[in-house]
């Protein structure tokens, strides 16, 4: 699965930018980075924009909340129809209750870890989640360089999923482009977030297809229909 990040899109033309990657061979999810200038040193968009975007596109919205107090704010994104709502484990006070609330509101629940956050202390918590978002840059800005060390966490998660100990979809976010996507695919990623590699391209739709083709070529033995 490919999830273009609209952080690299033109914020004045979000509906058009969503349309540029939608369609049969297009984006599986649209990744929406919500930043509050507290959890990360950047400010992007919030609930009203997500609600408007939800009405403007059929592509399922993958909301990545880089905010403090997600226990209070995340539920709103599920209520306006986000498909997947991801919170940061470093910010959540009661991530198990939060996952239950997100699911009860009709969304999938995602848990994200920053590059320096280990997975092991959170494995029990992850049993309550649908997606694991492994950050491969420090959250806050697009266009940064991929941190290859995080792939160890991807391999761990892949192993736990393949052996039936976890049921999360493994997502990676940050610095994904034609140079880095193969290593991520080999490590076992299911869903690739790409901002500048998609919206920095002349043809964002074609960039999505190129990334997906590259992933399929790299991992011909994986059954991507089930991912
Ligand atoms: C960074 C965001 C990413 C960002 C990725 O904090 O979470 O989703 O948009 O952008 P690229 O693909 O340019 O690294
Ligand atoms: Zn993100």
**Best of 11, 32, 137, 148 to mutate for ligand 1, by most ligand atoms within 8 A of CB?**
137
Return the ligand 1 atom nearest residue 174 CA: 14
Tokens of 204: 């964002």
In a domain, 131, yes or no: yes
> What's the 195 CA to ligand 1 centre distance in angstroms?
5
Q: How far apart are CA 192 and CA 132, in angstroms?
A: 12
For residue 33, give the CATH number of its domain. Answer: 3.20.20.70
Higher pLDDT, 221 or 218: 218
pLDDT-derived band at 138, boundaries 50, 70, 90: very high
Specify the pLDDT at position 226: 47
In a domain, 226, yes or no: no
Give the count of domains, the chain: 1
Neighbours of 24 (CB within 10 A): 4
Instruction: Read off the pLDDT of residues 59-76 as tens digits, 9 standing for 90 and up.
Output: 999 999 999 999 999 999
CA dihedral (191, 192, 198, 200) positive or negative: positive
Provide the residue range defining the domain that includes 37.
Answer: 2-215
> How confident is the prediction for the chain on average, in pLDDT?
97
pLDDT-derived band at 178, boundaries 50, 70, 90: very high
Catalytic residues: 33, 173
> What's the 150 CA to ligand 1 centre distance in angstroms?
15
Instruction: Read off the pLDDT of residues 148-172 as tens digits, 9 standing for 90 and up.
Output: 999 999 999 999 999 999 999 999 9
pLDDT-derived band at 225, boundaries 50, 70, 90: low
Specify the pLDDT at position 224: 73
- Do residues 70 and 93 make contact, with C-beta atoms less than 8 angstroms apart? no
CA dihedral (118, 96, 226, 23) positive or negative: negative
Q: Which of 72, 3, 74 is nearest to 32 (CA)?
A: 3
**For the residues 175-187, what does the mean pLDDT come to?**
98
In a domain, 223, yes or no: no
Return the ligand 1 atom nearest residue 194 CA: 12
**For the residues 27-39, what does the mean pLDDT come to?**
98
* This model's pTM is above 0.95: yes
In a domain, 224, yes or no: no
> What's the 159 CA to ligand 1 centre distance in angstroms?
25
In a domain, 124, yes or no: yes
In a domain, 183, yes or no: yes
> What's the 160 CA to ligand 2 centre distance in angstroms?
23
In a domain, 220, yes or no: no
**For the residues 74-80, what does the mean pLDDT come to?**
98
Q: Which ligand is nearest to the CA of 139?
A: 1
Does 146 score more than 50 pLDDT? yes
Does 18 score more than 60 pLDDT? yes
Q: Find the residues whose C-beta lies inside 6 A of ligand 1.
A: 5, 7-8, 31, 33, 64, 137, 139-144, 173-176, 193-197
Specify the pLDDT at position 227: 45
In a domain, 61, yes or no: yes
**Best of 30, 33, 181, 211 to mutate for ligand 1, by most ligand atoms within 8 A of CB?**
33
């Amino acid at each position: 699965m490919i999830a273009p990040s609209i952080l690299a899109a033109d914020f004045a033309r979000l509906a058009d930018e969503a349309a540029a990657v939608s369609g049969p061979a297009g984006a599986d999810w649209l990744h929406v980075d919500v930043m509050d200038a507290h959890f990360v040193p950047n400010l992007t968009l919030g609930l009203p924009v997500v609600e408007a975007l939800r009405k403007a596109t059929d592509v399922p919205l993958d909301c990545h909340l880089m905010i403090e107090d997600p226990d209070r704010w995340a539920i709103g994104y599920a209520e306006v129809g986000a498909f997947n709502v991801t919170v940061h484990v470093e910010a959540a006070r009661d991530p198990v209750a939060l996952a239950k609330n997100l699911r009860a509101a009709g969304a999938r629940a995602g848990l994200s870890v920053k590059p320096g956050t280990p997975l092991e202390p959170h494995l029990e918590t992850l049993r309550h989640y649908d997606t694991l978002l492994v950050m491969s840059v420090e959250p806050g800005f697009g266009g940064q360089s991929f941190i290859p060390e995080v792939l160890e966490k991807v391999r761990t998660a892949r192993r736990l999923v393949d052996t039936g100990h976890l049921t999360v979809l493994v997502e990676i976010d940050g610095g994904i482009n034609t140079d880095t996507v193969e290593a991520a695919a080999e490590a076992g990623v299911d869903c690739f977030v790409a901002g500048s590699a998609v919206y920095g391209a002349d043809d964002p739709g074609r960039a999505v297809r190129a990334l997906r083709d590259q992933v399929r070529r790299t991992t011909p033995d994986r059954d991507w229909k089930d991912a």
